[in-house]
Amino acid sequence: MRCFIALELPLEIKIKLGDIIGQLKKTGADVKWVDPANIHLTLKFLGETPEADALRAGLALSTLKGKFKAIDSGLGGLGAFPSVDRPKVIWAGLSQGAEEIKEIYRQVEKLTADISQEDKAREFSPHLTLGRVRSNKNLMQLRDAINQAVILQKGFEFNRLVLLKSTLTSEGAIYSELNGVELV
């Protein structure tokens, strides 16, 4: 099964990100947008994972229960990887909480180092993926919309870590929670 570990977002933030996606869709850019209900902050992609390893990952995450305090965060603007000039992945950034999230990432990485297929050469950068660009159609309009976006500051907390199973369908990914851990 295809699995990953993520921090859950409050519903109201998913709704707000859905509004932002709605604004970006008006550019007519060819982007595969993430269903707002599925937006999360991925800490580690495990890839195709045998059931026994998924169980081990879930048990490892359980050891983090109550080990952290809630992470105060907030939406902090839009951007793109590798850059807004050459967008491939459209993301929303965080206004605060990045260092605390990186500490959780380091703990998750340590606990699941022998399970993952993730590219460890990449530096972890906390972000919320909103969509993936499929072609150059209306890229100028998309770049302008990203650069001009105004995101009202709305604070929220990350307080739940989840192990999710991802099932790819023609309609998009379907996520199923395999294990959830309260950080506080």
Q: What is the mean pLDDT of residues 68-85?
A: 93
Average pLDDT over residues 81-110: 95
Per-chain mean pLDDT for the chain = 92
pLDDT value at residue 121: 63
* Angle subtended by helix axes 11-25 and 139-148, to nearest 10: 140
CB atoms within 10 A of CB 86: 11
pLDDT (mean) for 145-154? 86
pLDDT at residue 150 above 90? no
Burial 161-170 (b: 16+ CB within 10 A, else e): bbbbbbeeee
Paired sense of beta strands 128-133 and 41-48, if any: unpaired
| Sheet of 71-82, strands arranged across | 31-33, 128-133, 87-96, 71-82, 155-158
The catalytically annotated residue of 40, 44, 143, 165 is 40
Q: Which of 127, 143, 160, 165 is catalytic?
A: 127
Whether residue 31 is predicted with pLDDT greater than 80 in this model: the reply is: yes
pLDDT at 108: 93
To the query of whether residue 40 is one of the catalytic residues in this protein, the response is: yes
Q: What is the pLDDT of residue 128?
A: 96
Answer yes or no: are the C-beta atoms of 30 and 65 closer than 8 Å.
Answer: no
Determine contact, residues 144/121, Cβ cutoff 8 Å.
no
Asked if residues 81 and 89 have their Cβ atoms less than 8 Å apart, the reply is: yes
| CA–CA dist 44, 180 (Å, integer) | 15
DSSP 108: H
The pLDDT value recorded for residue 119 is: 59
Strand partners, 158: 71
List domains and CATH numbers for the chain. 2-182 (3.90.1140.10)
Higher pLDDT, residue 120 or 132: 132
Amino acid of residue 58: G
